[in-house]
Structure 1
């Protein structure tokens, strides 16, 4: 069993977001279009419905 991480040291790889970080954040719909193109971004952001296939 692995040790639990110490909460006192903090996470250096994924630090907590500050108010400035939240202010600079953009929604996925804006970012994905620039990375993948309009058609692919629309498909990726479409909600999945129903139960997963077996």
Structure 2
């Protein structure tokens, strides 16, 4: 039988964000071009056709 994982347990690999972390956060539209280049970032940020009004 597998051991159940407690979802409330904090992970060292993925710790809970602090107020300082939220204050330093930047929007994806600002970060993605730095990571992937502008052309790919534009594609990543497009709304899928099924989500458009």
Coarse TM-score class (shorter-chain normalised): 0.7 to 0.9
CA RMSD of aligned residues (A): 2.3
Q: Which has the higher helix share?
A: 2
Could you say if the C-alpha distance between residues 46 and 9 of structure 1 is closer, same or farther in structure 2, counting changes exceeding 3 Å? closer
TM-score (norm 1): 0.73
- Between the aligned partners of 2:42 and 2:4, the Cα distance in structure 1 is 39
User: Tell me, which stretches of 5 or more residues in structure 1 are unaligned?
Assistant: none
Offset, 1:8: 6.6
Offset, 1:27: 0.7
TM-score (norm 2): 0.74
Partner of 2:39: 39
User: Tell me, which stretches of 5 or more residues in structure 2 are unaligned?
Assistant: none
- Report the number of matched residues: 51
